[in-house]
């Protein structure tokens, strides 16, 4: 009898691990199916309400760990993170999920259902925020990015950034699990919890739907993108000029179709102090002749052996502007010196700014541009083929948060223009032609957002909720400890 009971427990635990792993595997990763992640924690949370803590920990850890292995090849092979670091990243996320589940379980079993509801998502958001502050990849693995195709929900980023999205994403399954756990004996509390959570989520979705339906300002600009996977980073001198000449042909063609600004990919060629005058003269003449502003991504090698991942910005009959990438990707960009300044300029009554690829993985830099009233962000980029969606579309959220359109031109990725609501206005794969191009009418009026004004307020709010839950747990533990002391007294 005992053996049969133990077998049933093992089978149940295995089923919960399998269900969680499948939902996480397909709900996250390089091509996430966004609805699945809303339910991914649910099997573990339901299991946690009735299982021992050690069983709950094992189920949570292995369920999330196996699901997160969908990123193993990308982390270890594509972006070349060492084996130990790759294991640490995947295992670290699984460990945090386990801690969040155990805190949820302990609070729920001690009668603090409301605290359990908030502590589970708050733990995860606190981790995501602190990781963003301390880690070279910033928000790179934030759960919010799985929801980029869920446009009404994505609008929450304009208020609370990615932190609010992750919170509500995890609040949903916690509310369901708690209400099912309490339904038989505490039906009033169960209804209150699920009602409050669902009402909050409904309010978020109503806000998002209304924001998407609101008419945008009519100011637009013809924005063009061009990229070629056939050309890597050309050496300085004649090879670079040949690549630039090839790009010039397509810039001219886009100008003939009405383009006012054109973005080239990151690191299209090497420019140094000796070749810079010829390069600037070439693009300056092209800009003057076509009337097009051009953002060209280059590697700049200065005479003092300092290298920059740089965007050079050419405008008709105006001086050249430059921007150096702030956030560099190790080990691929370890030789570069990070930039420290912003670059903006006005064109046709619009304010434009420049960032480069990985800069868009971090919220503060884009928020600084938003506060300067930027309405169109020009982003030269390079991706790794497989992450054209996973990494290439992260930039979309920066536009929603900070109120600008994003024009991102990537080699080995997508050429994408997205507006300040996260809608993709035009997109093409960089390998869809020898020189892929996109040309759209892009909104360029800056949009004010609460996230722009208040920044990471929701992350701090979540951490305050977590601290409150931990204090509640400590308070609840005191009588339990005293009771144990009395029970053990002679």
Q: Specify if 451 maps to a domain.
A: no
* Same domain (yes/no): 400, 289: yes
Mean pLDDT of the 391-409 span: 98
The distance from CA 299 to its chain's CA centroid, rounded to whole angstroms, is 26
The long-range contacts involving 278-285, CB below 8 angstroms and separated by at least 24 positions, are 278/241, 279/240, 279/241, 279/244, 279/312, 280/312, 280/314, 280/320, 282/241, 282/244, 282/245, 282/248, 283/244, 283/312, 283/314, 283/320, 284/314, 284/320
Q: Which whole number is the average pLDDT over 48-63?
A: 94
SS3 126: helix
Give kind and range of the element (H or E) at residue 351.
strand 350-354
CA within 13 Å, CB half, 154: 25
Residue 159 covered by a domain: yes
As a whole number of angstroms, the distance between CA 481 and CA 234 comes to 69
DSSP string, 219-267: -EEEEEEEE-TT---BPTTHHHHHHHHHHHHHHHHHHHTT-SEEEPPTT
Supply the CATH number for residue 347's domain. Answer: 3.60.110.10
Q: What is the pLDDT of residue 481?
A: 52
User: pLDDT by residue (tens digit) across 464-483?
Assistant: 999 999 999 999 988 655 55
d(CA 237, CA 271): 8
Whether 141 maps to a domain, the answer reads yes
**250 in the same domain as 180:** no
CA distances, 188 to each of 179, 191, 198 (Å): 9, 5, 15
**Residue 265 lies inside a defined structural domain of this protein:** yes
Q: Across-strand partners of 416?
A: 408, 427
pLDDT tops 80 at residue 448: yes
For residues 193 and 253, membership in a common domain is answered with: no
Residues 97 and 240 both lie in one domain: no
Claim to verify: residue 225 and residue 117 sit in the same structural domain? no
75 within domain boundaries:
yes
Q: How far apart are CA 455 and CA 449, in angstroms?
A: 10
Going by pLDDT thresholds of 50, 70 and 90, the confidence category of residue 490 is: very low
Task: Give residue-wise pLDDT tens across range 196-208.
Answer: 999 999 999 999 9
Q: Scan for tokens 């046709």, then name that residue.
A: 348
Q: CA 29 to CA 78: how far, in whole Å?
A: 14
Does 393 lie in the same domain as 309?
yes
d(CA 80, CA 83): 9
267 lies in a domain? yes
Distances, alpha carbon 433 to alpha carbons 72, 224, 384, in Å: 30, 15, 17
Q: Is the pLDDT of residue 303 over 90?
A: no
Looking at the structure, do residues 386 and 263 belong to the same domain, yes or no?
yes
Same domain, residue pair 201 and 317: no
Range of 199's domain?
Answer: 2-214+456-487
Whether 124 is covered by a domain: the verdict is yes
Cα separation of 415 and 409, whole Å? Answer: 5
Residues 117 and 246 both lie in one domain: no
Residues 245 and 209 in one domain: no
Give percent above pLDDT 70 in the chain: 97
Same domain flag for 183 and 283: no
At residue 489 the predicted structure's pLDDT band, cuts being 50, 70 and 90, is: very low
Question: Quick one: pLDDT at residue 136?
Answer: 87
Indicate if the pLDDT at residue 80 is higher than 90: no
Work out how many domains the chain is built from and give that number: 2
Mean confidence (pLDDT) of the chain:
94
Residue 65 falls inside a structural domain: yes
Contact 283, 314 (CB under 8 A): yes
DSSP three-state, residue 303: coil
409, 481: one domain = no
């Amino acid at each position: 009898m005992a053996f049969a009971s133990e077998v049933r427990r093992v089978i149940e635990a295995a089923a919960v691990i399998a269900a969680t792993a499948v939902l996480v595997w397909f709900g996250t990763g390089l091509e996430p199916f966004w609805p699945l992640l809303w339910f991914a924690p649910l099997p573990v949370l339901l299991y946690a309400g009735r299982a021992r803590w050690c069983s709950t920990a094992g189920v949570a850890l292995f369920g999330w760990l196996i699901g997160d292995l969908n990123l193993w090849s990308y982390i270890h092979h594509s972006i070349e993170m060492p084996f130990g670091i790759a294991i640490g990243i995947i295992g670290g996320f699984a460990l945090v999920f386990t801690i969040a589940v155990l805190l949820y379980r302990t609070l729920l079993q001690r009668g603090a259902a409301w605290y359990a509801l908030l502590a589970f998502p708050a733990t995860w958001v606190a981790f995501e925020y602190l990781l963003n502050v301390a880690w070279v990849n910033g928000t790179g693995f934030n759960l919010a990015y799985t929801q980029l195709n869920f446009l009404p929900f994505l609008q929450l980023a304009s208020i609370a950034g990615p932190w609010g999205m992750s919170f509500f994403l995890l609040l949903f399954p916690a509310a369901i699990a708690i209400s099912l756990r309490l339904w038989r004996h505490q039906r009033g509390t169960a209804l209150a919890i699920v009602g409050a959570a669902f009402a909050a989520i409904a309010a978020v979705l109503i806000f998002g739907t209304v924001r998407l339906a609101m008419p945008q300002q009519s100011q637009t600009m013809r924005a063009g993108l061009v990229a070629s996977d056939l050309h890597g980073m050309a050496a300085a001198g004649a090879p670079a000029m040949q690549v630039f000449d090839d790009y010039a042909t397509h810039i001219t063609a886009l100008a003939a179709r009405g383009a006012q600004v054109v973005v080239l990919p990151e690191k299209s060629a090497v420019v140094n102090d000796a070749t810079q005058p010829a390069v600037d003269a070439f693009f300056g003449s092209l800009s003057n002749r076509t009337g097009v502003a051009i953002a060209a991504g280059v590697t700049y090698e200065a005479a003092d052996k300092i290298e920059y991942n740089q965007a050079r910005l050419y405008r008709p009959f105006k001086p050249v502007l430059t921007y150096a990438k702030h956030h560099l990707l190790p080990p691929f960009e370890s030789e570069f010196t990070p930039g420290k300044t912003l670059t903006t300029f006005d064109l046709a009554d619009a304010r434009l700014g420049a960032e480069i690829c990985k800069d868009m993985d971090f919220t503060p830099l884009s928020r600084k541009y938003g506060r300067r009233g930027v309405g169109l962000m020009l982003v030269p980029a390079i991706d790794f083929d497989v992450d054209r969606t996973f990494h290439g579309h992260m930039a979309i959220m920066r536009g929603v948060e900070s109120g600008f359109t994003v024009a991102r031109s990537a080699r080995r990725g997508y050429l994408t223009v997205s507006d300040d609501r996260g809608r993709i206005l035009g997109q093409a794969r960089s390998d869809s032609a020898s020189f892929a191009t996109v040309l759209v009418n892009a909104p360029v009026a800056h949009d004010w957002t609460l996230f722009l004004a208040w920044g990471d307020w929701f992350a701090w709010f979540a951490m305050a909720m977590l601290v409150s839950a931990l204090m509640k747990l400590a308070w609840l533990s005191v009588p339990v400890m005293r009771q144990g002391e009395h029970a053990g007294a002679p």
